Amino acid sequence: MSKTIKHHLTDDLLMAYAAGSLPEAFDLMVATHLSLCDDCRARAESFDAVGGHVLEQQGQPVSMSDESLAATMALIAQGAPTPKPARPGCAVLPAPLQDYVGGSVADIRWRSIGMGVKQAILPTGKDATARLLFIPAGAAVPDHGHNGVELTMVLQGAFSDEVDRFARGDVEIADEDLEHTPVADIGEDCICLAVTDAPLKFSKLVPRLFQPFLRI
């Protein structure tokens, strides 16, 4: 898969992921991309290693409470937790997304947002939003800009906009400088994971009117 991925995550995002400083929605995006991209996964592991070394060099001894041993022994006495049954494989949703959806594409609770486009908002923290987008083959997402950062990763099919073409595994990083109209390839419906830290800026009236209800 990595050889076909052209659009990757930035070092800043990977370092923030390693440091644990990203919102949950952005963590989900990074974890999903890393599950498909060997190149970004190797870079992320290098940042993890650097962070671990820094902690080792700067860490201070921490005293343990008198109850620590008793608490540890109580956990041991409870035995190993019962492992969750493995989910069936899904050709579209990588493992990090399957946990949020509760299964496969068939389990996604889509909601129409007009023009054949559908979305499913995922349960993440309030500081950022994660959603799955379904764009019918040949259809377009309304022209929009950004009040913050939007990351969009293709899970099925492909889309093109003013920047480039994005296929499975590719991530488009859009900020306040980009206004675009993503259009799904004609040959296949497009499914994407999109995360945002601020509402989008739609140029047309109708999307703006429905924006508060659709939480876009």
Domain membership of residue 67 (yes or no) is no
The per-residue pLDDT for 212 is 62
pTM: 0.81
**pLDDT 10s digits, 13-56:** 999 999 999 999 999 999 999 999 999 999 999 998 765 444 44
Domain count, the chain: 2
The per-residue pLDDT for 83 is 53
Pairing of strands 144-146, 111-114: unpaired
Q: Please report which confidence band the pLDDT of residue 98 belongs to, taking 50, 70 and 90 as the band edges.
A: very high
The per-residue pLDDT for 24 is 97
Domain membership of residue 28 (yes or no) is yes
The per-residue pLDDT for 57 is 53
The per-residue pLDDT for 54 is 47
DSSP string for 53-66: HHHHHH----PPPT
CA 87 to chain centroid: 19
Domain membership of residue 154 (yes or no) is yes
Domain membership of residue 79 (yes or no) is no
What is the 3 state secondary structure string of 145-211? EECCCEEEEEEECEEECCCCEEECCCEEEECCCCCECCEECCCCCEEEEEEECCCEEECCHHHHHHH
**pLDDT 10s digits, 136-158:** 999 999 888 889 999 999 999 99
Residues facing residue 119 across a β-bridge: 111, 133
**102: domain CATH number?**
2.60.120.10
User: Rounded to 5 degrees, what are φ and ψ at 208?
Assistant: -65, -35
**pLDDT 10s digits, 148-197:** 999 999 999 999 999 999 999 999 999 999 999 999 999 999 999 999 99
Domain membership of residue 75 (yes or no) is no
Which residues form the domain of 174? Answer: 95-214
Average pLDDT over every residue of 65-87: 65
Domain membership of residue 77 (yes or no) is no
Judge if 45 and 136 occupy the same domain.
no
In the β-sheet with 158-160, what is the strand arrangement from edge to edge?
165-167, 158-160, 183-184
Q: Give the CA-trace dihedral at 3, 4, 6, 8, to 10 degrees.
A: -70
Domain membership of residue 90 (yes or no) is no
Residues facing residue 195 across a β-bridge: 130, 151
CA atoms within 13 A on the CB side of 150: 23
Q: Please report which confidence band the pLDDT of residue 90 belongs to, taking 50, 70 and 90 as the band edges.
A: confident
The per-residue pLDDT for 64 is 62
CA distances from 210 to 79, 105, 127, 151, 205 (A): 52, 26, 21, 22, 9
